[in-house]
Chain A
Amino acid sequence: MDLINILTVILLLPLGSAAIIALFLRRQGKAAAALSVLVGFAIMGLSLYVLESWDGVTLHPTWEWLRFGNFAYSMGFYFDHQAALMLLVVSFVAGWIQLFSVGYMDEDEAQGRFFGGLSIFMFSILGIVLADNLVMLFVFWELVGFSSYMLIAHYYKTDFANMASKKAFIVNRVGDLGFIIGIAWCYHYYGTLDLAELAAKVAAGHALLGSKAAIGIGLLLMCGFVGKSAQFPLQVWLTDAMAGPTPVSALIHAATMVAAGIYFMARVFFLLPTFTQEWIMWSGAIMTAFAGLCALGQTDIKKSLAYSTLSHLGYMATALGLGFPGLAMFHMAMHACFKATLFLGAGSVIHACHHEQDIYKMGGLLKKMPLTGLSFAVASASIAAVPFLSGSYSKDTIITEAFLRGMNEGPQFYVIYGLILFAALCTALYMGRLFFVTFLGQPRSEHAAHAHESSWYMTVPLLVLGFLSVSAGWVVYNWDWAAGKMDWLLPMDTVSVFLDDFRKIEEAAQKEGVAHGLELVAVIVAIAGFAFTYFFYGRAKEGDPLLAKAPGFFHVLERHGWFDDLYDWYVAKVQQRLCDVMAFFDQLFIRFFCVQGSGAVAGLTGAALRRTQVGSLHAYVYWFLAGVVLFCAFATGFFN
Chain B
Amino acid sequence: MNPGLQAYLTVASALFAIGFAGVLVRRNTLVIYMCLELMLSASTLGLVAFSRYNNTMDGALFVFFIITVAAAEVAVGLAIIVALYRRRRTVQVDQLNYLKN
- B55 partner residues in chain A, CB cutoff 8 A: none
B54 / chain A contacts, CB cutoff of 8 Å: none
How far is B99's CA from A613's CA once the two chains are assembled, in angstroms? 10
**Contact: A615 with B93, CB < 8 Å?**
no
Contacts of B32 in A (CB 8 A): 617
Q: CA A618 – CA B97 in complex, angstroms?
A: 11
Please state if B100 and A613 are interface contacts (CB–CB under 8 Å): yes
Q: Is the CB of B100 within 8 A of A622?
A: no
Give the size category of A's interface with B: under 10
Closest chain B residue, CB of each to CB of A622: B24
Q: How far is the CA of A622 from the CA of B23 in the complex (A)?
A: 10
Assembled-state Cα–Cα distance A622/B24 (Å): 8
B97 nearest CB across to chain A (Å) = 4
Contact with B along A122-152 (1 / 0, CB 8 A): 0000000000000000000000000000000
Is B24 touching A616 in the complex (CB atoms < 8 A)?
no
- Nearest-neighbour CB distance to chain B for A358, whole angstroms, equals 79
Q: How far is the CA of A617 from the CA of B94 in the complex (A)?
A: 7
| A607: Cβ under 8 A from any B Cβ | no
**Judging by beta carbons under 8 Å apart, are A615 and B97 in contact?**
yes
Contact mask for chain A residues 597-624; partner B; CB cutoff 8 A; 1 contact, 0 none: 0000000000000000111111001100
B6 contacts partner chain A, Cβ-Cβ < 8 Å:
no
Whole-angstrom distance between the Cβ of B59 and the nearest chain A Cβ? 22
What is the CA–CA distance of A618 and B93 in the complex, to the nearest angstrom?
8
A104 to B98, CA, bound (A): 78
Contact of B23 among A613, A614, A616, A621 (CB under 8 A): A621
Chain B residues in 8 Å Cβ range of A625: 24
Is B68 part of the contact surface with A, judged by Cβ < 8 Å?
no
Q: How long is the Cα–Cα vector from A90 to B93 in the complex, in angstroms?
A: 88
Q: Is there an interface contact between A615 and B24, defined as CB atoms closer than 8 Å?
A: no
Q: Contact at B100–A614, with CB atoms within 8 Å?
A: yes
In the complex, chain B residues whose CB is within 8 Å of the CB of A613? 100
Smallest Cβ-Cβ distance to A618: which chain B residue: B24
CB distance from A153 to the nearest CB of B (A): 60
As a 0/1 sequence over residues 15 to 54 of chain B, the CB contacts with chain A under 8 angstroms (1 = contact) are 0000000011000000010000000000000000000000
Could you mark each residue 625-636 of chain A with 1 if its beta carbon is under 8 Å from any beta carbon of chain B, else 0? 100000000000
A614: chain B residues within 8 A (beta carbon): 100
Min CB gap B88→A, angstroms: 14
A621 touches B24 (CB 8 A): yes
CA–CA, A34 to B34, complex, Å? Answer: 90
B93 neighbours in A (Cβ, 8 Å): 616-618
Q: Which B residue sits closest to A617, measured CB to CB?
A: B93
Chain B residues with Cβ below 8 Å from A616 are 93-94, 97
Is B2 among interface residues, defined by CB-CB distance under 8 A? Answer: no
**Chain B residues near A622 (CB, 8 Å)?**
24
CA distance A621 to B22 in the complex (A): 11
User: Are B23 and A615 interface neighbours, CB within 8 A?
Assistant: no
In the bound complex, how far is the Cα of B95 from the Cα of A616, in angstroms?
A: 9
A118 to B97, CA, bound (A): 73
Q: Which of A383-399 contact B (CB under 8 A)?
A: none
Closest B residue to A615 by beta carbon equals B100
Considering the complex, which residues of chain B in the window 4-22 have a beta carbon less than 8 Å from any beta carbon of chain A?
A: none
Contacts of B23 in A (CB 8 A): 621
Q: How far is the CB of B85 from chain A (nearest CB, A)?
A: 16
Q: Note all chain A residues with C-beta closer than 8 A to B94.
A: 616-618
Contacts of A618 in B (CB 8 A): 24, 93-94
Residue of A nearest to B101 (CB): A615
Min CB–CB distance B22 → chain A (angstroms) = 11
Q: Which residues of B contact A615 (CB under 8 A)?
A: 97, 99-101
Cβ-closest chain B residue relative to A614: B100
Which A residues are in CB contact (< 8 Å) with B96?
617
CB-defined contacts of B100 to chain A, threshold 8 Å = 613-615
Of residues 91 to 145 in A, which have CB atoms within 8 Å of B's CB atoms? none
The CA of A116 and the CA of B101, in the complex, are separated in Å by 65
Cα of A295 to Cα of B96 in the assembled complex, Å? 89
Q: Which chain A residue shows the least CB distance to B29?
A: A617
How far apart are the CA atoms of A615 and B96 in the complex, in Å? 8
User: Which residues of A144-168 have CB atoms within 8 Å of chain B's CB atoms?
Assistant: none
Q: Which residues of A contact B24 (CB under 8 A)?
A: 618, 621-622, 625
Shortest Cβ distance from B99 into A: residue = A615
Cα–Cα distance between A613 and B98 once the two chains are bound (Å)? 12
Which of B74-101 touch A at CB < 8 Å? Answer: 93-94, 96-97, 99-101
Q: Measured between C-beta atoms, what is the minimum distance from A85 to chain B in Å?
A: 82
Q: Give, as a whole number of angstroms, the nearest-CB distance from B1 to chain A.
A: 33
CB distance from B32 to the nearest CB of A (A): 8
Q: How far is the CA of A507 from the CA of B32 in the complex (A)?
A: 114
On chain A, the residues within 8 Å of B101 by CB distance are: 615
* CB nearest neighbor in A for B25: A618
Measured CA separation A617–B96 after assembly (Å): 9
Q: Given the complex of chains A and B, what is the CA–CA distance between A58 and B23 in angstroms?
A: 92
Q: How far is the CA of A616 from the CA of B25 in the complex (A)?
A: 12
A624's closest neighbor in chain B, by CB? Answer: B23
Closest to B97 in A: A615
Q: Which residue of A has the minimal Cβ distance to B94?
A: A616
Chain A residue at minimum C-beta to C-beta distance from B100: A615
Contacts of A617 in B (CB 8 A): 32, 93-94, 96
Cα-based distance from A622 to B101 in the complex (angstroms):
21
Enumerate 20 A-B pairs (CB-CB under 8 Å) in ascending A order: A613-B100, A614-B100, A615-B97, A615-B99, A615-B100, A615-B101, A616-B93, A616-B94, A616-B97, A617-B32, A617-B93, A617-B94, A617-B96, A618-B24, A618-B93, A618-B94, A621-B23, A621-B24, A622-B24, A625-B24
Q: Which residues of B contact A (CB under 8 A)?
A: 23-24, 32, 93-94, 96-97, 99-101
Top 10 nearest A-B pairs by Cβ distance? A615-B100, A615-B97, A617-B93, A621-B23, A621-B24, A618-B24, A616-B94, A615-B99, A616-B97, A613-B100
Known A616-B94, A617-B32, A622-B24; further 16 A-B contacts with Cβ < 8 A: A613-B100, A614-B100, A615-B97, A615-B99, A615-B100, A615-B101, A616-B93, A616-B97, A617-B93, A617-B94, A617-B96, A618-B24, A618-B93, A618-B94, A621-B23, A625-B24
